[in-house]
Amino acid sequence: MRIALFTLLLALVMASSRTASAPAADAGHLPADRAARIIRNARIYTGNASGEFAEAMAMRGEEILYVGSAAGLEPFLDERTAVHDRCVKLK
């Protein structure tokens, strides 16, 4: 149930993204440790027992590479990474 909810929330966040820098790069043409798409300044449900939310996520194809603070995104960025900035105030 949590996975289904997380997937639904992720789809909604991606579909309603306010700003996209460029189309997501083809995951096959990126270095193995880089993300094709990044969402930041968002409120992302993690599904943890504590009910925590994250502010950023890095993805490559259908694989989630990182979920956490925006400060941890740097290792996943590439000049071809599509960055979606949700501009949500986190509480």
* Predicted model pTM: 0.64
- Smallest CA-to-CA distance from 59 within 28, 41, 81 is with 81
Strand 37-45 with 53-60, pairing: antiparallel
pLDDT tens figures, 8-46: 555 555 554 444 444 444 555 666 678 999 999 999 988
Residue range 50-87, pLDDT digits in tens: 888 999 999 998 899 999 999 999 999 988 999 999 88
Determine the Cα angle at 56 with ends 64 and 53, to 5°: 95
In whole angstroms, give the CA distance from residue 36 to residue 59: 6
End-to-end CA distance of the chain: 25
Q: Which domains does the chain have, with CATH numbers?
A: 2-85 (2.30.40.10)
Structure tokens, 65: 């590479």
